[in-house]
Every structure is written in C-alpha cells, then in structure tokens.
Amino acid sequence: MDAIALPDREIADRRDPGGADHHKGAVAHEAARRRTFAVISHPDAGKSTLTEALALHARAIGEAGAVHGKGNRRGVVSDWMEMEKDRGISITSAVLQFAYDGTVVNLLDTPGHADFSEDTYRVLAAVDAAVMLVDAAKGIEPQTFKLFEVCRARGVPVITVVNKWDRPGLDALAIMDELTTRIDLHPMPLTWPVGVAGDFHGVLDSATGEFVQFTRTPGGATEAITTRMSSDEAEQLLGSTWTDAVEEFDLLRSSGHDYDHELFLSGAASPVLFGSAVLNFGVRQLLDTLVALAPAPGARPDRTGAPRAVAAPFSGFVFKIQAGMDRAHRDRLAFVRVCSGRFSRGMVVTHADTGRPFTTKYAQSVFGRDRSTVEEAFPGDVIGLVNANALRVGDTLYADEKVAFPRIPLFAPEHFAVARAAVTGKQKQFRRGIEQLGEEGVVQVLHSDRRGAQAPVLAAVGPMQFDVAQHRMEHEFGSAIRLEPLGYSVARAVTAAAMPIVDSRPGAETLTRADGLHLAVFVDKWRLASVEKDLPVGSLTPIFG
C-alpha cells in the first residue's frame, strides 16, 4: 500500500460520542496504529541519511536532501543550528511524524556523537523501539555499543540495519558473528545481501525467498527502483552471486537464526536488514518491518512501578526542551511523549510535581524544525508545548487520574569549566542564558558559595557541549562567555554533611546542581579514593552513567 499523508501533519479530529468505554476503545485503537522509535548509531554510520530516506519513502518529503538541507534544499531537521552545518554532525535530536501504510510513525532522530549521549538517552526514554545502524565497513563501534546497552537497560527492542553495503566492507557472516559475540545479541536476518559489500545488487527476502533487486536513481534523490524476481530468475541473472547468498542464508537458518518475535520483544534478539541509505536501497523493507514488528505503545510504569494503561486518561512526560529551532520562532518548546489517553489542544492538565494546572492552548506537531498546530494526539505521539517555562526535562503532566513517571537520570559529568560573562554589562542576559541551557540539558549548571552566582560551573559529558553552550550564549542570548577549564574529571553525589570535609581537601570541591543534587568533584580517581576513605560510609555515591 502506498504511504498516506497526514493533512498538515495533523490527525483528523475524532469526537467521542459513545461514552467512556468507547473513548478507551478509540484510544487503544489509535495507540495500536503508532510506531515510535529512535535511530541510534556511531557518528558517520549514516543515521541522518537514513532518517531522511525513511521520510522520503513515506512520501513525507519529495526528495532526499529536503530533511537536512542538502543540494540547496531547505532542511527541516538539523540545519537550524549553524554548528551542525559547519561540523556536519547532529548536535541535537529532532522529531518527525508521518503516516505510512495506515500507521502513524514517530521518528526521533538522535545525535550520534558521544559528547551528546545525554540527549540521546532522553530520547530513548521516550520511544518503544530503536533502529541500530551499523556501518558495513566498521562493524560494531564504541558509541553503537554504548547506546545499545542503554536500549537493553531500558528494555527497548532493537532492529539492526547494516548500512553502506554499496561500499567495500566486512563479510556479512562476520557482522552476524560480531552481533553475537560482542554485544550478546542474537541476529535474525530478514533480508540477506546479494553481492559482497561494495557490489550490492539487492537482497534475498527471507519471508518469500525472492530476490529484491535495487536500481539507483540519479543522485539518490528519489526512491530506488525495486524489482522482485523468483529464485530461479535470480540465478539466471546473477549466477554464483545469487547461489552464494542463498547458501550463506541457509547456513544461518540451519544454525537457529529464524525470526522469533518473542525473542525480539525481550531484547535478546534483533531482526537484521541490509541496505544503503544514501542510495535508498532497503529503506522500504525497514519501514515495512517497523510497521509489522515494532511494538505499539503499551502500558508504561509510573514511579511506583504500577503500569499506566494506554487507555487511561491523558498523561505524558517531558523528555526534551529546545529553544531557537527557527529564527521565526523566538520561543521555547517542551517535547512531551504522550503515554496514555487522548490529548486535546486546550485541555487543562496538571503538573505532577507541583499540583498546579497547566494549559495547553499552544500545542504543536513537530516535523524537524517545522511546526503546525496539533488538535489531538494519542499514546506514542510527541507534542510540542510552546513557551512552557514551568516545565523541566522529566516532568509529568496528567489529566483526571494522578500519575508521575520516573525521572530521566542525568549522566555523570567528566568535564568542568567556570563560565563568566565576556561583557560585564550583560549579566542579565548571562544569567538567563545559563539558566535556560541548564534547563534544556545542553550542559549541567553547578553553583557554590565559593564561586558565587556570577561564576557558575558548567559540567558536561563531552567537551563539545561547551562549544554548543558558547555558541548559543553568544548568538541566541547576546552574552558571549569565557570558559575557564577546571581540572576535575570524576564526580560523585555527596551528602550535605560530608561537603565541608571534601571542600577542605586539595584537588576536590563540592558544587550544587540546579535540581538540588550535591556533587563532589575530584581531579582523578586516586584523589577520590584518598578523600573517600576519610568520610563516613555512604557519603559518596555514583551518579547515573
């Protein structure tokens, strides 16, 4: 079936004339139509290219390049941040919603660089599945492994895509062995490459045994041409290239690599597909797999561990806050994952932590950096709440039945720098910008009486976060900053009683994060060990990550 378009990327309004039971049934039906997933990978594995290829095949865009601004086309995802264009990497996550084959797809694009792991982790808290992209030439890379471990810890099932098969690379069986031995993930190929890496003709479809031949289009800007043919026809056309592929695939099947849905949902096994995102080879097979196999939104546990059913009254949680997405919109957007019930624009919801009412008049659907008013949304969808200044990452919103979802933990920072306003007369802009960057999670903002309010300490997982903070402070908030690196590399949560002792030791310091958590920072693990032995047991505890 061809992809279908959502009018103005909104879902048609469906009023509920039949009472509570009908309403719950309608919500459950809409939730079953949703597929919400993230794409994860090591940098340069082709994640952004795959994101745009998926949107192309769903006919959400007309040609490749329209997502990321390639080929002189206006981008809708990551060209709004100058640093992303200059460095050619994804710095922040983005959301694209589109319809495909009767299913509403919510695709959350994530940064690949390790320095932005926290942003990716927040996204992984908001999805029901993940697509793990593996570079055919490099196999499982460190950041891929790290993000997969996050998926495993969160119980997020993973579909594996071996990308760049149009270029020279590893042997297909060797990649299957890597999945098994390096990350303990049982591979279940749904397609198998016909032709070695660098000589890609198409794939063997495991469901039918047919050959799916790919033909590239000029520049790879439009959907690749696919032709299906029987095994006999493929052998006549390709000879030993086809028979070699069949023999390899039969070897895997005889070794117990057939698809098992329960193993996939448990996270112990992964469906595997081969393709080339830049040529749009194998992309439709991935979309079809997501629709057929990826889990729909289900009951989500609250902070007590009790499941919140999708048909329960509205609830959702904030997993991302972003400002400056478009020069035409000088506002701040809170991204909310709908967990249960029907969201209706204008409804009054409750902020779980404060108990205060919150209006949702300015709710939007997001497609990259483009935005449009959204009238309703269902479990699995992502809505953007404009200028929601009272909201923070991890906050829960609900209607009628109280619920609070687990907080999204912050990573342990490893890099620290004192921030000062470059121009002393811009203290107001400086304070406002630093506060907002902390609320968005661009950096963690730490304070201490020793340093004072005019010299906060910025803490980051990776040093590139500091570059983003400096760029945004100058260009968005009009207050350039100077950063003075600190020599700390290890952080632990510390009790208030132990803070004076830590502060008295050289090579150590205590600071307080904006959320109230006290941190002790040390120049290295040896200084940590030296101080810890003089503290009461339990004074220092690891921070998430």
CATH at 442: 3.30.70.3280
Block means of pLDDT (10 residues each) for the chain, 545 residues, are: 36 45 84 94 82 77 47 44 51 74 88 63 90 94 84 92 96 96 96 95 96 84 87 96 96 93 96 94 94 96 96 95 63 89 95 92 76 90 86 93 90 91 90 88 90 91 86 89 95 96 96 92 96 95 76
Residue 345 lies in a domain: yes
150 in the same domain as 225: yes
pLDDT for residue 15: 41
Give the pLDDT score at 92.
Answer: 53
The total of other beta-carbon atoms located within 10 Å of residue 171's CB is: 12
Whole domain around residue 156: which residue ranges?
Answer: 37-296
Residue 110 marked ligand-binding: yes
Residue among 525, 484, 528, 529 at smallest CA distance from 509: 528
Amino acid at 458: L
Q: Are residues 250 and 193 in the same domain?
A: yes
* Residue 215 counted as domain residue: yes
* DSSP 8-class letter at 326: B
> Does one domain contain both 277 and 308?
no
Whether 436 is in a domain gets the answer yes
Domain-located, residue 155:
yes
> Please, is 385 exposed, middle or buried when counting C-beta atoms within 10 Å of its C-beta (0-12, 13-18, 19+)?
buried
Residue type, 240: S
**CATH code of 145's domain:** 3.40.50.300
111 is in an annotated binding site: yes
Whether residues 53 and 194 fall in one domain: yes
Examine the domain organization and report whether 94 and 232 are in the same domain: yes
Residues 6+ apart with CB under 8 A from 455: 418, 419, 420
Please list, in sequence order, all residues whose beta carbon lies within 8 angstroms of the beta carbon of residue 3, skipping any fewer than 6 positions away. Answer: 57, 58, 59, 60, 98, 99, 100, 101
Taking the C-alpha atoms of residue 421 and residue 444, their distance in angstroms, rounded to an integer, is: 17
Q: What is the pLDDT of residue 541?
A: 94
25 is in an annotated binding site: no
Instruction: Supply the pLDDT for residue 66.
Output: 43
Which of 272, 296, 320 represents a domain boundary (last residue)?
296
Are 429 and 468 a contacting pair, CB within 8 Å?
A: no
**Alpha-carbon dihedral 369, 370, 373, 378, rounded to 10 degrees:** -60
Say whether both 184 and 227 belong to one domain: yes
Q: What is the pLDDT of residue 325?
A: 56
Q: Does 189 appear as a known binding residue?
A: no
Kindly report the CA angle at 393 between 319 and 431, in degrees rounded to 5?
135
* Residues 342, 270 within the same domain: no
Rg (CA), the chain: 25
pLDDT at position 86: 53
Q: Is residue 1 part of a domain?
A: no
How many structural domains comprise the chain? 3
| pTM for the whole structure | 0.81
Dist. CA 286–CA 159, nearest whole Å: 9
Asked if residue 30 is part of any domain, the answer here is no
pLDDT of 7 reads 36
Angle, CA 149 vertex, CA 382 and CA 146 arms, to 5°:
95
Q: Is 275 a member of any domain?
A: yes
Which residues, including other chains, have CB under 8 Å from residue 92's CB and lie 6 or more apart? 78, 81, 84, 111, 116, 119, 322
pLDDT value for 324: 61
Q: Is residue 57 part of a domain?
A: yes
Question: Which residues, 6 or more positions from 96, have their beta carbon under 8 angstroms from its beta carbon?
Answer: 51, 55, 60, 67, 76, 77, 106, 107, 109, 366, 367, 368
Q: If we measure between CA atoms, which residue out of 317, 304, 520 comes closest to residue 408?
A: 317
Domain boundary among 337, 365, 398: 398
Quote the tokens at residue 382.
């992502």
Closest CA to 183 of 139, 130, 217: 139
Strand partners, 273: 161
Side-chain half-sphere CA neighbours of 529 within 13 A: 3
Take residue 432 and report the two structure tokens written for it: 């406002």
- The candidate with the shortest Cα–Cα distance to 195, out of 169, 160, 224, 229, is 169
Same domain, 236 and 290: yes
* One domain, residues 320 and 261: no
**483: three-class secondary structure by DSSP:** strand
351 and 205 within one domain: no
State whether 373 and 425 are in the same domain. no
Picking from 370, 398, 426, the residue at the C-terminal end of a domain is 398
Give pLDDT, residue 442.
Answer: 85
- Residue 109 is labelled as binding a ligand: yes
**What CA–CA distance (Å, rounded) separates 16 from 14?**
7
Looking at the structure, tell me whether residues 230 and 145 fall in a common domain. Answer: yes
